[in-house]
Amino acid sequence: RKAGIAGLYGLEGAVNVQGEDVKKLDIVANDNFINTLKFTRKISVMVSEENPEPIVVDKALAGKYCVVFDPLDGSSNIDCNVSVGSIFGIYKNAADGPGSVGDVLRPGKDLVGAGYCTYGSATQMVLTTGNGVNVFTLDPAIGEFILTAADVKIPAKPKTIYSTNEGNWASFDAATQEFITQCKAKTPKPYSLRYVGSMVADVH
């Protein structure tokens, strides 16, 4: 919340493993994730979008879980104060003992937990451990996340909204272009378009 005052807007001058320009807040968020997780003594391997190689925790601090994460999704929106967030997935080590890179090179069905956080008018964490989805909201007064929506599901009759960067239209395959065209032409009411450019905001 003090990014502007602290001079944390703008580019860091590096490029991440996805080929994206790294923002200053990307670095701050990434360092916070790594340092916090490392000292929980629960984590053995971390994989971050901002690091070219996995981070293997020292054996003395290692636990039985591995975490993959994007510490600050939507960072291209930081300078204009649009909602951003974090994305994470949690694996359990495949075997007893120290974790390895192989513990994160696994399909999504092996995840024991996954979710995302949104940072906007409120700080929320959407979490699943494989049995339903729950939403927790940070109460700054006590520094804890409070369960605010349990067992969240997509409604039987959801809102008709699609989200895409249509600036990339020329690179879409024919099936994707046809789907978007159908969304626009749907009767009696076409789909609405909402695109923020931050996955957590668009999904949420």
pTM for this entry: 0.83
Handedness of CA 181, 183, 185, 190 (dihedral sign): negative
What's the pLDDT at 36?
96
CA-to-CA distance for 67 and 17, rounded, in angstroms? 17
User: If you write DSSP's letter for every residue of 145-178 in order, what string do you get?
Assistant: EEEEE-S----SS---EE---GGGGGGS-HHHHH
What's the pLDDT at 120?
86
* 3-state helix vs strand vs coil in the chain, percent to 5: 25, 30, 45
CA-to-CA distance for 61 and 43, rounded, in angstroms? 8
The two three-digit tokens of residue 52, written as one number:
């070219």
The distance between the two most distant Cα atoms of the chain, rounded to a whole number of Å, is 62
DSSP-derived secondary structure letter, 111: -
Per-residue buried b or exposed e for 47-58, using 16+ beta carbons within 10 Å of the residue's own CB: bbbbeeebbbbe
Helix H or strand E segment including 135: strand 133-139
What's the N-to-C CA distance of the chain in angstroms?
21
Calculate the average pLDDT of the chain.
88
What's the pLDDT at 97?
72
User: If you write DSSP's letter for every residue of 11-23 in order, what string do you get?
Assistant: EEEEE-TTSPEEE
Per-residue buried b or exposed e for 174-190, using 16+ beta carbons within 10 Å of the residue's own CB: eeeeeebeebeeeeeee
DSSP-derived secondary structure letter, 7: T
What's the pLDDT at 83?
85
What are the pLDDT digits (tens) for 30-84?
999 999 999 999 999 999 999 999 999 998 999 999 999 999 998 777 777 788 9
In which residue ranges of the chain is pLDDT below 50?
A: 2-6, 8-10, 13
